Structure 1
Amino acid sequence: MPDSPFTALAAPSPASGKRQSATARKRAMLIVALVAANLLCNIVANACFKQSVVGHGWQHLLLWQVLGNIAGLLSVITLTLLLRSVPLHVAYPVTTGLAVIGVQVLAARAIFGESIDLRQWLGTLLIVGGIFLIGGQRG
Structure 2
Amino acid sequence: MHRLPFASGGRLVSQALVMPVILTAGNVLFNVVANTSFKLSAQGRSWREFLLWQVVGNLSGFIAVLIFTFLLRYLPLHVAFPLIQGLAIIGIQVAAASWLFHEAISPAHWVGTALIIFGILILGSR
Q: Percent identity, aligned pairs only?
A: 44
**Unmatched 5+ residue regions in structure 1?**
3-7, 9-15
Separation of aligned partners in 1, 2:13 and 2:77: 20
Q: Which residue of 2 aligns with 1:124?
A: 113
Match of 1:115 in 2: 104
What TM-score do the two structures reach when normalised by structure 2? Answer: 0.92
Q: Structure 1 CA distance, aligned partners of 2:56 and 2:125?
A: 34
Please name the residue that 1:12 is paired with.
Answer: none
Secondary structure in 1 matching 2:123: helix
Task: State the 1:135 CA deviation.
Answer: 2.5
3-state SS of the aligned residue for 1:55?
coil
Q: How many residues align?
A: 124
1:83 aligns with 2:38: no
Partner of 1:5: none
- Greater Rg by CA: 1
Distance 1:135 1:58, change over 3 A: same
1:1-139 to 2 correspondences below 5 Å: 18-19=8-9, 21-137=10-126
Deviation at 1:17, TM superposition (A): 6.5
Q: Is 2:31–2:88's contact at 8 Å kept on the other side of the alignment?
A: yes
Given that 2:7 and 2:13 are in contact with CA atoms closer than 8 Å, whether structure 1 keeps it comes out as: no
Deviation at 1:53, TM superposition (A): 0.9
What CA distance in whole angstroms lies between the structure 1 residues aligned with 2:12 and 2:107?
A: 43
2:91 counterpart letter in structure 1? G
Structure with the bigger RCO (C-alpha within 8 Å, sep 6+) is 1
**Which stretch of the first structure deviates more once superposed, 71-80 or 22-31?**
22-31
